[in-house]
Structure 1
Amino acid sequence: MANTLIIVPTFNEIDGLERIVTRIREAVPAADLLVVDDSSPDGTGELADRLAEADPGMRVLHRAGKNGLGQAYLAGFELALGEGYEFIVEMDADGSHDPESVPAMLALAESGAELVIGSRWVDGGSVVNWPAIRKAISRTGNWYSGVMLRSRIRDITAGFRVFRASALRDLDLHAISSQGYCFQVEMAWRLERTGHRVVEYPITFVERETGQSKMHSGIVVEALLRVTAWGIEATLRPRKSMSMSRSGARSR
Protein backbone atom coordinates (compact mmCIF):
# COMPACT_ATOMS: atom_id res chain seq x y z
CA MET A 1 0.00 0.00 0.00
CA ALA A 2 3.03 2.28 -0.28
CA ASN A 3 1.46 3.47 -3.55
CA THR A 4 -1.56 4.79 -1.62
CA LEU A 5 -2.17 8.30 -0.30
CA ILE A 6 -4.95 8.91 2.24
CA ILE A 7 -6.21 12.51 2.17
CA VAL A 8 -7.88 13.90 5.29
CA PRO A 9 -9.16 17.50 5.02
CA THR A 10 -9.48 19.41 8.27
CA PHE A 11 -11.03 22.55 9.65
CA ASN A 12 -11.31 22.85 13.43
CA GLU A 13 -10.85 19.12 14.10
CA ILE A 14 -8.33 19.39 16.93
CA ASP A 15 -10.36 17.21 19.32
CA GLY A 16 -10.46 14.19 17.04
CA LEU A 17 -7.43 14.49 14.76
CA GLU A 18 -4.92 12.48 16.78
CA ARG A 19 -7.47 9.71 17.28
CA ILE A 20 -8.24 9.34 13.56
CA VAL A 21 -4.55 9.49 12.62
CA THR A 22 -3.84 6.67 15.08
CA ARG A 23 -6.71 4.59 13.68
CA ILE A 24 -5.52 5.12 10.11
CA ARG A 25 -1.99 4.14 11.01
CA GLU A 26 -3.21 0.95 12.69
CA ALA A 27 -5.46 -0.03 9.77
CA VAL A 28 -3.21 0.85 6.82
CA PRO A 29 0.32 1.36 8.15
CA ALA A 30 1.95 1.20 4.70
CA ALA A 31 -0.15 4.02 3.21
CA ASP A 32 1.00 7.62 3.26
CA LEU A 33 -1.20 10.23 4.93
CA LEU A 34 -1.85 13.82 3.90
CA VAL A 35 -3.74 16.22 6.16
CA VAL A 36 -5.05 19.25 4.25
CA ASP A 37 -5.79 21.99 6.77
CA ASP A 38 -7.65 25.20 5.90
CA SER A 39 -5.92 27.43 8.47
CA SER A 40 -8.01 26.08 11.35
CA PRO A 41 -8.18 28.72 14.10
CA ASP A 42 -8.39 26.03 16.81
CA GLY A 43 -4.83 24.80 16.19
CA THR A 44 -5.63 21.69 14.13
CA GLY A 45 -2.87 22.52 11.64
CA GLU A 46 -0.26 22.89 14.34
CA LEU A 47 -1.28 19.59 15.92
CA ALA A 48 -1.07 17.93 12.51
CA ASP A 49 2.47 19.29 12.12
CA ARG A 50 3.48 17.78 15.46
CA LEU A 51 2.01 14.41 14.52
CA ALA A 52 3.80 14.52 11.17
CA GLU A 53 7.14 15.20 12.85
CA ALA A 54 6.88 11.77 14.48
CA ASP A 55 5.56 9.98 11.39
CA PRO A 56 7.68 9.91 8.20
CA GLY A 57 4.65 8.73 6.20
CA MET A 58 2.53 11.73 7.18
CA ARG A 59 2.63 15.32 6.02
CA VAL A 60 0.50 18.43 6.20
CA LEU A 61 -0.66 20.78 3.46
CA HIS A 62 -1.60 24.18 4.88
CA ARG A 63 -4.00 26.29 2.85
CA ALA A 64 -4.68 29.97 3.36
CA GLY A 65 -8.25 30.33 4.56
CA LYS A 66 -11.34 28.15 4.53
CA ASN A 67 -11.89 27.42 0.84
CA GLY A 68 -14.17 24.40 1.07
CA LEU A 69 -14.01 20.63 1.02
CA GLY A 70 -13.88 20.29 -2.75
CA GLN A 71 -10.88 22.58 -3.12
CA ALA A 72 -9.09 20.82 -0.26
CA TYR A 73 -9.47 17.46 -1.99
CA LEU A 74 -8.44 18.90 -5.36
CA ALA A 75 -5.25 20.24 -3.76
CA GLY A 76 -4.60 16.78 -2.36
CA PHE A 77 -5.32 15.15 -5.72
CA GLU A 78 -2.84 17.47 -7.42
CA LEU A 79 -0.12 16.49 -4.97
CA ALA A 80 -0.94 12.77 -5.26
CA LEU A 81 -0.95 12.78 -9.06
CA GLY A 82 2.24 14.80 -9.18
CA GLU A 83 4.03 12.31 -6.96
CA GLY A 84 2.84 9.21 -8.77
CA TYR A 85 0.52 7.56 -6.25
CA GLU A 86 -1.66 4.84 -7.76
CA PHE A 87 -4.55 4.95 -5.28
CA ILE A 88 -5.98 7.99 -3.51
CA VAL A 89 -8.31 7.70 -0.51
CA GLU A 90 -10.78 10.31 0.74
CA MET A 91 -11.62 10.20 4.45
CA ASP A 92 -13.29 12.54 6.94
CA ALA A 93 -11.32 13.66 9.97
CA ASP A 94 -14.20 13.27 12.42
CA GLY A 95 -14.05 9.47 12.78
CA SER A 96 -17.28 8.80 10.90
CA HIS A 97 -15.37 6.72 8.34
CA ASP A 98 -13.82 3.57 9.78
CA PRO A 99 -10.21 3.15 8.56
CA GLU A 100 -10.58 -0.62 8.97
CA SER A 101 -12.68 -0.56 5.77
CA VAL A 102 -9.82 0.90 3.75
CA PRO A 103 -7.95 -2.38 3.03
CA ALA A 104 -11.09 -4.00 1.58
CA MET A 105 -11.84 -0.90 -0.49
CA LEU A 106 -8.27 -0.81 -1.77
CA ALA A 107 -8.51 -4.48 -2.70
CA LEU A 108 -11.50 -3.66 -4.91
CA ALA A 109 -9.53 -0.86 -6.57
CA GLU A 110 -6.56 -3.16 -7.08
CA SER A 111 -8.94 -5.63 -8.72
CA GLY A 112 -10.01 -3.11 -11.35
CA ALA A 113 -12.50 -0.69 -9.83
CA GLU A 114 -11.66 2.91 -10.71
CA LEU A 115 -13.77 4.43 -7.96
CA VAL A 116 -14.77 2.59 -4.78
CA ILE A 117 -17.43 4.32 -2.69
CA GLY A 118 -17.95 3.48 0.97
CA SER A 119 -21.74 3.31 0.79
CA ARG A 120 -24.29 3.73 3.56
CA TRP A 121 -27.27 2.88 1.37
CA VAL A 122 -26.44 -0.51 -0.16
CA ASP A 123 -27.14 -3.90 1.44
CA GLY A 124 -24.88 -4.22 4.47
CA GLY A 125 -24.40 -0.47 4.86
CA SER A 126 -25.80 1.52 7.78
CA VAL A 127 -25.76 4.82 9.67
CA VAL A 128 -25.34 5.15 13.44
CA ASN A 129 -26.52 8.09 15.58
CA TRP A 130 -28.10 10.14 12.81
CA PRO A 131 -31.41 11.91 13.51
CA ALA A 132 -34.30 11.07 11.18
CA ILE A 133 -34.07 14.43 9.39
CA ARG A 134 -30.42 13.85 8.48
CA LYS A 135 -31.22 10.41 7.09
CA ALA A 136 -34.10 11.86 5.10
CA ILE A 137 -31.88 14.58 3.60
CA SER A 138 -29.24 12.04 2.60
CA ARG A 139 -31.66 9.55 1.11
CA THR A 140 -33.61 12.25 -0.71
CA GLY A 141 -30.42 13.80 -2.07
CA ASN A 142 -29.19 10.46 -3.36
CA TRP A 143 -32.59 9.62 -4.87
CA TYR A 144 -32.87 13.01 -6.59
CA SER A 145 -29.31 12.78 -7.92
CA GLY A 146 -29.99 9.31 -9.27
CA VAL A 147 -33.15 10.44 -11.08
CA MET A 148 -31.72 13.66 -12.51
CA LEU A 149 -28.34 12.24 -13.48
CA ARG A 150 -29.60 8.80 -14.47
CA SER A 151 -27.03 7.36 -12.12
CA ARG A 152 -27.06 3.86 -10.68
CA ILE A 153 -24.89 4.85 -7.72
CA ARG A 154 -26.87 4.39 -4.51
CA ASP A 155 -24.76 6.67 -2.31
CA ILE A 156 -23.41 9.27 -4.70
CA THR A 157 -23.02 11.88 -1.92
CA ALA A 158 -20.75 9.66 0.19
CA GLY A 159 -17.33 11.04 1.08
CA PHE A 160 -15.43 7.82 1.90
CA ARG A 161 -13.76 6.81 -1.36
CA VAL A 162 -10.83 5.21 -3.14
CA PHE A 163 -9.87 6.55 -6.57
CA ARG A 164 -7.49 5.06 -9.08
CA ALA A 165 -5.11 7.85 -10.04
CA SER A 166 -5.55 6.95 -13.71
CA ALA A 167 -9.28 7.72 -13.44
CA LEU A 168 -8.61 11.14 -11.92
CA ARG A 169 -6.20 11.88 -14.76
CA ASP A 170 -9.06 11.24 -17.19
CA LEU A 171 -11.04 14.12 -15.68
CA ASP A 172 -10.49 17.85 -16.11
CA LEU A 173 -10.02 18.52 -12.42
CA HIS A 174 -9.59 22.25 -13.06
CA ALA A 175 -13.22 22.32 -14.19
CA ILE A 176 -14.48 20.94 -10.85
CA SER A 177 -15.78 23.78 -8.68
CA SER A 178 -18.38 22.12 -6.44
CA GLN A 179 -18.15 21.87 -2.66
CA GLY A 180 -19.49 19.54 0.05
CA TYR A 181 -21.99 16.89 -1.02
CA CYS A 182 -22.03 18.42 -4.47
CA PHE A 183 -18.30 17.84 -4.97
CA GLN A 184 -18.77 14.15 -4.21
CA VAL A 185 -21.76 13.94 -6.57
CA GLU A 186 -19.88 15.64 -9.39
CA MET A 187 -16.75 13.50 -9.10
CA ALA A 188 -18.65 10.20 -9.05
CA TRP A 189 -21.11 11.21 -11.78
CA ARG A 190 -18.43 12.38 -14.18
CA LEU A 191 -16.51 9.12 -13.76
CA GLU A 192 -19.67 7.03 -14.13
CA ARG A 193 -20.78 8.99 -17.18
CA THR A 194 -17.43 8.55 -18.94
CA GLY A 195 -17.42 4.79 -18.59
CA HIS A 196 -15.25 4.25 -15.52
CA ARG A 197 -15.97 1.31 -13.27
CA VAL A 198 -17.59 2.35 -9.98
CA VAL A 199 -18.06 -0.10 -7.10
CA GLU A 200 -19.98 0.51 -3.86
CA TYR A 201 -18.70 -1.15 -0.70
CA PRO A 202 -21.03 -1.29 2.34
CA ILE A 203 -19.84 0.64 5.39
CA THR A 204 -21.18 1.64 8.78
CA PHE A 205 -21.16 5.43 9.06
CA VAL A 206 -20.95 6.69 12.65
CA GLU A 207 -21.88 10.29 13.40
CA ARG A 208 -19.06 12.35 14.86
CA GLU A 209 -18.61 12.45 18.63
CA THR A 210 -16.41 15.55 18.73
CA GLY A 211 -16.28 18.84 16.85
CA GLN A 212 -19.00 20.47 14.81
CA SER A 213 -20.57 19.25 11.57
CA LYS A 214 -19.75 21.32 8.48
CA MET A 215 -23.17 20.53 7.00
CA HIS A 216 -25.34 23.60 6.37
CA SER A 217 -28.24 24.69 4.20
CA GLY A 218 -25.97 26.29 1.59
CA ILE A 219 -24.45 22.90 0.77
CA VAL A 220 -27.90 21.41 0.21
CA VAL A 221 -28.99 24.32 -2.01
CA GLU A 222 -25.79 24.15 -4.06
CA ALA A 223 -26.27 20.42 -4.62
CA LEU A 224 -29.90 20.87 -5.63
CA LEU A 225 -29.13 23.59 -8.16
CA ARG A 226 -26.08 21.95 -9.68
CA VAL A 227 -27.58 18.47 -9.91
CA THR A 228 -30.62 19.93 -11.65
CA ALA A 229 -28.39 21.77 -14.13
CA TRP A 230 -26.26 18.69 -14.79
CA GLY A 231 -29.37 16.60 -15.32
CA ILE A 232 -30.64 19.02 -17.94
CA GLU A 233 -27.20 19.07 -19.57
CA ALA A 234 -27.06 15.27 -19.65
CA THR A 235 -30.49 15.11 -21.28
CA LEU A 236 -29.54 17.61 -23.96
CA ARG A 237 -26.06 16.19 -24.56
CA PRO A 238 -26.11 12.47 -23.71
CA ARG A 239 -22.86 10.56 -23.58
CA LYS A 240 -22.14 6.88 -23.27
CA SER A 241 -23.28 5.33 -20.01
CA MET A 242 -21.09 3.05 -18.05
CA SER A 243 -21.68 -0.44 -16.77
CA MET A 244 -21.47 0.01 -13.05
CA SER A 245 -20.68 -2.64 -10.47
CA ARG A 246 -21.87 -2.68 -6.91
CA SER A 247 -20.06 -4.70 -4.32
CA GLY A 248 -21.24 -6.10 -1.06
CA ALA A 249 -21.11 -9.85 -1.19
CA ARG A 250 -20.96 -9.64 -4.99
CA SER A 251 -20.50 -7.36 -7.98
CA ARG A 252 -22.73 -7.07 -10.98
Structure 2
Amino acid sequence: MFSKTNEAIFGVPKFLSTEIEERKTKYCLCIPIINEGERIHKQLQRAQQHGIDKLVDIIICDGDSTDGSTDSMQLKTLGVNTLLTKKDTGKQGAQLRMGFWFALARGYEGIITIDGNNKDSIESVPLFIEKLEQQFDFVQGSRYVEGGKAINTPKIRHFAVKFIHSPLISLTARHRFTDSTNAYRCYSKKYLTHPKVQPFRPIFTTYELLAFLSVRASQLGLKVGEVPVERKYPESGKVPTKISFFKGNFNLIMILVNNLFGKFNP
Protein backbone atom coordinates (compact mmCIF):
# COMPACT_ATOMS: atom_id res chain seq x y z
CA MET A 1 0.00 0.00 0.00
CA PHE A 2 1.38 3.40 -0.93
CA SER A 3 0.07 6.95 -1.27
CA LYS A 4 1.04 9.81 -3.55
CA THR A 5 -0.35 13.19 -4.59
CA ASN A 6 -0.83 13.75 -8.31
CA GLU A 7 0.97 16.56 -10.06
CA ALA A 8 -1.13 19.45 -11.39
CA ILE A 9 -2.96 18.36 -14.56
CA PHE A 10 -5.39 20.67 -16.35
CA GLY A 11 -8.95 19.47 -15.91
CA VAL A 12 -8.11 17.00 -13.14
CA PRO A 13 -8.46 18.06 -9.49
CA LYS A 14 -5.53 17.59 -7.18
CA PHE A 15 -5.89 14.34 -5.28
CA LEU A 16 -4.12 11.86 -3.06
CA SER A 17 -4.08 8.29 -4.32
CA THR A 18 -3.71 5.40 -1.90
CA GLU A 19 -3.21 2.24 -3.94
CA ILE A 20 -4.10 -0.61 -1.62
CA GLU A 21 -3.64 -3.22 -4.35
CA GLU A 22 -2.24 -3.15 -7.87
CA ARG A 23 -4.55 -3.27 -10.87
CA LYS A 24 -6.03 -6.76 -11.19
CA THR A 25 -9.03 -6.55 -13.54
CA LYS A 26 -10.05 -5.29 -16.98
CA TYR A 27 -12.74 -2.98 -15.61
CA CYS A 28 -13.10 -0.91 -12.45
CA LEU A 29 -15.95 0.32 -10.27
CA CYS A 30 -15.65 3.98 -9.24
CA ILE A 31 -17.69 5.01 -6.18
CA PRO A 32 -17.85 8.76 -5.45
CA ILE A 33 -18.56 9.44 -1.76
CA ILE A 34 -18.47 12.18 0.85
CA ASN A 35 -19.16 11.34 4.51
CA GLU A 36 -21.30 8.28 3.75
CA GLY A 37 -20.42 6.59 7.06
CA GLU A 38 -21.88 3.12 7.53
CA ARG A 39 -23.74 3.29 4.22
CA ILE A 40 -20.57 2.84 2.18
CA HIS A 41 -19.31 0.11 4.53
CA LYS A 42 -22.57 -1.84 4.17
CA GLN A 43 -22.43 -1.41 0.40
CA LEU A 44 -18.88 -2.75 0.24
CA GLN A 45 -19.88 -5.69 2.42
CA ARG A 46 -22.66 -6.49 -0.05
CA ALA A 47 -20.12 -6.29 -2.86
CA GLN A 48 -17.87 -8.81 -1.10
CA GLN A 49 -20.79 -11.15 -0.44
CA HIS A 50 -21.48 -11.25 -4.18
CA GLY A 51 -17.84 -11.43 -5.27
CA ILE A 52 -17.92 -8.04 -6.97
CA ASP A 53 -14.46 -7.12 -5.61
CA LYS A 54 -13.09 -10.10 -7.56
CA LEU A 55 -14.77 -9.06 -10.85
CA VAL A 56 -13.74 -5.40 -10.83
CA ASP A 57 -11.20 -3.25 -9.00
CA ILE A 58 -13.15 -1.03 -6.58
CA ILE A 59 -11.95 2.57 -6.52
CA ILE A 60 -13.34 4.94 -3.89
CA CYS A 61 -13.48 8.54 -5.19
CA ASP A 62 -13.65 10.46 -1.95
CA GLY A 63 -14.51 14.14 -1.64
CA ASP A 64 -12.25 14.36 1.43
CA SER A 65 -14.58 12.83 4.02
CA THR A 66 -14.17 13.74 7.67
CA ASP A 67 -16.33 11.02 9.26
CA GLY A 68 -13.68 8.32 9.43
CA SER A 69 -15.38 6.13 6.82
CA THR A 70 -12.35 6.10 4.50
CA ASP A 71 -9.72 4.57 6.78
CA SER A 72 -7.53 2.76 4.27
CA MET A 73 -6.94 -0.31 6.45
CA GLN A 74 -10.67 -0.77 6.94
CA LEU A 75 -11.31 -0.26 3.23
CA LYS A 76 -8.73 -2.94 2.49
CA THR A 77 -10.68 -5.47 4.58
CA LEU A 78 -13.79 -4.47 2.61
CA GLY A 79 -12.21 -5.33 -0.75
CA VAL A 80 -11.32 -1.83 -1.94
CA ASN A 81 -8.45 -1.66 -4.44
CA THR A 82 -7.69 2.08 -4.35
CA LEU A 83 -8.73 5.18 -2.40
CA LEU A 84 -8.60 8.52 -4.21
CA THR A 85 -9.04 11.60 -2.00
CA LYS A 86 -9.83 14.91 -3.68
CA LYS A 87 -7.75 17.82 -2.39
CA ASP A 88 -9.29 20.50 -4.57
CA THR A 89 -12.52 22.36 -5.31
CA GLY A 90 -15.62 20.85 -6.90
CA LYS A 91 -18.18 18.22 -5.97
CA GLN A 92 -19.36 15.07 -7.75
CA GLY A 93 -18.13 16.16 -11.18
CA ALA A 94 -14.65 16.76 -9.80
CA GLN A 95 -14.65 13.41 -8.02
CA LEU A 96 -15.62 11.64 -11.25
CA ARG A 97 -12.95 13.47 -13.25
CA MET A 98 -10.43 12.36 -10.65
CA GLY A 99 -11.63 8.77 -10.85
CA PHE A 100 -11.84 8.66 -14.64
CA TRP A 101 -8.35 10.11 -15.08
CA PHE A 102 -6.83 7.64 -12.64
CA ALA A 103 -8.69 4.70 -14.19
CA LEU A 104 -7.71 5.55 -17.75
CA ALA A 105 -4.10 6.19 -16.75
CA ARG A 106 -4.08 2.79 -15.07
CA GLY A 107 -5.28 1.11 -18.26
CA TYR A 108 -8.83 -0.02 -17.53
CA GLU A 109 -10.93 -0.72 -20.62
CA GLY A 110 -14.19 0.44 -19.02
CA ILE A 111 -15.45 2.19 -15.92
CA ILE A 112 -18.60 1.43 -13.94
CA THR A 113 -19.92 4.05 -11.50
CA ILE A 114 -22.35 3.76 -8.60
CA ASP A 115 -23.38 6.03 -5.73
CA GLY A 116 -21.91 5.16 -2.35
CA ASN A 117 -25.06 5.45 -0.24
CA ASN A 118 -26.10 1.78 -0.46
CA LYS A 119 -29.32 2.49 -2.37
CA ASP A 120 -28.31 0.57 -5.50
CA SER A 121 -27.96 -3.14 -6.27
CA ILE A 122 -24.18 -3.40 -6.40
CA GLU A 123 -24.67 -7.09 -7.15
CA SER A 124 -25.85 -6.01 -10.64
CA VAL A 125 -22.28 -5.12 -11.69
CA PRO A 126 -22.00 -8.27 -13.90
CA LEU A 127 -24.76 -6.88 -16.14
CA PHE A 128 -22.58 -3.86 -16.92
CA ILE A 129 -19.51 -6.02 -17.48
CA GLU A 130 -21.50 -8.09 -19.97
CA LYS A 131 -22.46 -4.95 -21.89
CA LEU A 132 -18.88 -3.67 -21.93
CA GLU A 133 -17.79 -7.06 -23.29
CA GLN A 134 -20.41 -6.60 -26.02
CA GLN A 135 -18.70 -3.32 -27.01
CA PHE A 136 -21.33 -0.99 -25.56
CA ASP A 137 -19.93 2.48 -24.90
CA PHE A 138 -22.53 3.84 -22.46
CA VAL A 139 -24.99 1.80 -20.43
CA GLN A 140 -27.50 3.34 -18.03
CA GLY A 141 -28.80 1.38 -15.07
CA SER A 142 -32.57 1.69 -14.78
CA ARG A 143 -35.12 0.73 -12.16
CA TYR A 144 -37.85 1.31 -14.75
CA VAL A 145 -37.00 -1.29 -17.40
CA GLU A 146 -38.12 -4.92 -17.24
CA GLY A 147 -36.35 -6.62 -14.35
CA GLY A 148 -35.58 -3.37 -12.55
CA LYS A 149 -37.00 -2.47 -9.16
CA ALA A 150 -37.96 0.93 -7.71
CA ILE A 151 -38.46 0.40 -3.97
CA ASN A 152 -39.79 3.14 -1.66
CA THR A 153 -39.04 5.84 -4.25
CA PRO A 154 -40.39 9.17 -2.91
CA LYS A 155 -43.35 10.23 -5.05
CA ILE A 156 -41.84 13.59 -5.96
CA ARG A 157 -38.62 11.91 -7.11
CA HIS A 158 -40.54 9.34 -9.11
CA PHE A 159 -42.47 12.15 -10.84
CA ALA A 160 -39.33 14.20 -11.51
CA VAL A 161 -37.41 11.28 -13.01
CA LYS A 162 -40.28 9.98 -15.14
CA PHE A 163 -41.73 13.26 -16.39
CA ILE A 164 -38.96 15.88 -16.23
CA HIS A 165 -35.40 14.58 -16.07
CA SER A 166 -35.59 11.49 -18.29
CA PRO A 167 -37.66 13.19 -21.05
CA LEU A 168 -35.20 16.11 -21.19
CA ILE A 169 -32.18 13.79 -21.27
CA SER A 170 -33.83 11.61 -23.93
CA LEU A 171 -34.63 14.66 -26.06
CA THR A 172 -31.05 15.88 -25.80
CA ALA A 173 -29.55 12.43 -26.41
CA ARG A 174 -31.90 11.63 -29.28
CA HIS A 175 -32.31 8.24 -27.60
CA ARG A 176 -34.83 7.14 -24.97
CA PHE A 177 -33.48 6.66 -21.47
CA THR A 178 -35.80 5.78 -18.60
CA ASP A 179 -33.78 6.50 -15.43
CA SER A 180 -31.37 9.29 -16.25
CA THR A 181 -30.74 10.56 -12.70
CA ASN A 182 -29.28 7.21 -11.76
CA ALA A 183 -25.48 7.37 -11.42
CA TYR A 184 -25.28 3.57 -11.75
CA ARG A 185 -23.90 3.25 -15.28
CA CYS A 186 -20.80 2.35 -17.26
CA TYR A 187 -18.55 3.96 -19.85
CA SER A 188 -16.10 2.45 -22.30
CA LYS A 189 -12.54 3.71 -22.67
CA LYS A 190 -13.45 4.49 -26.29
CA TYR A 191 -16.23 6.83 -25.14
CA LEU A 192 -14.28 8.69 -22.46
CA THR A 193 -11.27 9.24 -24.74
CA HIS A 194 -13.33 10.34 -27.77
CA PRO A 195 -12.08 13.74 -29.00
CA LYS A 196 -15.63 15.10 -29.03
CA VAL A 197 -16.22 14.20 -25.38
CA GLN A 198 -13.25 15.54 -23.40
CA PRO A 199 -14.51 14.90 -19.85
CA PHE A 200 -11.46 16.50 -18.22
CA ARG A 201 -12.66 20.08 -18.24
CA PRO A 202 -13.13 22.32 -15.16
CA ILE A 203 -16.69 23.13 -16.31
CA PHE A 204 -17.74 19.80 -14.80
CA THR A 205 -17.92 20.56 -11.08
CA THR A 206 -21.27 19.27 -9.76
CA TYR A 207 -23.79 17.23 -11.80
CA GLU A 208 -22.86 18.60 -15.23
CA LEU A 209 -20.66 15.63 -16.14
CA LEU A 210 -23.37 13.06 -15.38
CA ALA A 211 -25.85 14.94 -17.54
CA PHE A 212 -23.38 15.44 -20.38
CA LEU A 213 -22.19 11.84 -20.45
CA SER A 214 -25.83 10.67 -20.44
CA VAL A 215 -26.39 12.24 -23.86
CA ARG A 216 -23.08 12.54 -25.69
CA ALA A 217 -22.58 8.88 -26.59
CA SER A 218 -25.79 8.55 -28.58
CA GLN A 219 -25.23 11.99 -30.14
CA LEU A 220 -21.93 10.66 -31.49
CA GLY A 221 -23.47 7.43 -32.76
CA LEU A 222 -21.81 5.23 -30.16
CA LYS A 223 -23.42 2.06 -28.82
CA VAL A 224 -25.73 2.76 -25.85
CA GLY A 225 -28.27 0.84 -23.80
CA GLU A 226 -29.84 0.19 -20.41
CA VAL A 227 -29.77 -2.67 -17.90
CA PRO A 228 -32.20 -3.39 -15.04
CA VAL A 229 -31.06 -2.44 -11.54
CA GLU A 230 -32.66 -1.99 -8.15
CA ARG A 231 -32.75 1.33 -6.29
CA LYS A 232 -34.10 1.11 -2.76
CA TYR A 233 -34.83 4.08 -0.52
CA PRO A 234 -35.23 3.73 3.25
CA GLU A 235 -38.77 2.98 4.43
CA SER A 236 -38.60 5.92 6.83
CA GLY A 237 -36.28 8.68 7.96
CA LYS A 238 -34.18 11.11 5.95
CA VAL A 239 -33.63 10.31 2.29
CA PRO A 240 -29.87 9.90 1.59
CA THR A 241 -29.06 12.57 -1.03
CA LYS A 242 -26.62 15.40 -1.62
CA ILE A 243 -29.13 17.52 -3.60
CA SER A 244 -30.94 20.21 -1.59
CA PHE A 245 -34.65 20.50 -2.36
CA PHE A 246 -34.78 24.08 -3.67
CA LYS A 247 -31.30 25.28 -4.68
CA GLY A 248 -30.07 21.84 -5.67
CA ASN A 249 -33.04 21.01 -7.86
CA PHE A 250 -33.06 24.48 -9.46
CA ASN A 251 -29.37 24.08 -10.35
CA LEU A 252 -30.10 20.62 -11.73
CA ILE A 253 -32.80 21.98 -14.04
CA MET A 254 -30.41 24.67 -15.27
CA ILE A 255 -27.82 21.98 -16.00
CA LEU A 256 -30.40 20.05 -18.05
CA VAL A 257 -31.31 23.15 -20.04
CA ASN A 258 -27.66 24.01 -20.72
CA ASN A 259 -27.09 20.40 -21.73
CA LEU A 260 -30.04 20.55 -24.12
CA PHE A 261 -28.51 23.54 -25.89
CA GLY A 262 -25.06 21.98 -26.12
CA LYS A 263 -23.35 24.23 -23.57
CA PHE A 264 -21.08 21.40 -22.40
CA ASN A 265 -19.96 20.22 -25.84
CA PRO A 266 -16.22 20.67 -26.47
**TM-score range for the pair, normalised by the shorter chain length:** 0.7 to 0.9
2:182 is paired with a residue whose SS is coil
Match of 2:57 in 1: 32
**8 A contact 1:39–1:66 mirrored in 2:** no
Structure 1 position 13, deviation (Å)? 0.9
Aligned residue identity for 2:176 = R
Match of 1:130 in 2: 153
Aligned residue identity for 2:120 = H
User: 1:113-144: CA deviations, max 9, x gaps?
Assistant: 11111112323323111221121122221123
Cα separation, partners in 2 of 1:9 and 1:230, compared to 1, 3 Å: closer
Aligned residue identity for 2:125 = V
| 1:175 equivalent in alignment to 2:198 | no
**1:1-252 alignment, distance < 5 Å:** 2-27=25-50, 28=52, 29-46=54-71, 49-54=72-77, 58-64=81-87, 67-139=90-162, 140-170=164-194, 171-175=197-201, 177-178=203-204, 181-207=207-233, 212-216=240-244, 217-233=246-262
For structure 2, the residue ranges without an aligned partner over 5 or more in a row are: 1-23
Aligned residue identity for 2:141 = G
Q: For 1:40 and 1:76, how far apart are their aligned partners in 2?
A: 16
RMSD: 2.5
Q: For 2:230 and 2:205, how far apart are their aligned partners in 1?
A: 23
Q: Identity, % of aligned pairs? A: 21
Pick which of 99-108 and 78-87 moved more: 99-108
Cα separation, partners in 2 of 1:178 and 1:51, compared to 1, 3 Å: same
Structure 1 position 184, deviation (Å)? 1.8
Cα separation, partners in 2 of 1:66 and 1:218, compared to 1, 3 Å: farther
Q: TM-score, normalised by structure 1?
A: 0.82
Cα separation, partners in 2 of 1:34 and 1:208, compared to 1, 3 Å: farther
For structure 1, the residue ranges without an aligned partner over 5 or more in a row are: 238-252
User: 1:7-41: CA deviations, max 9, x gaps?
Assistant: 11111111122221122233322311111111212
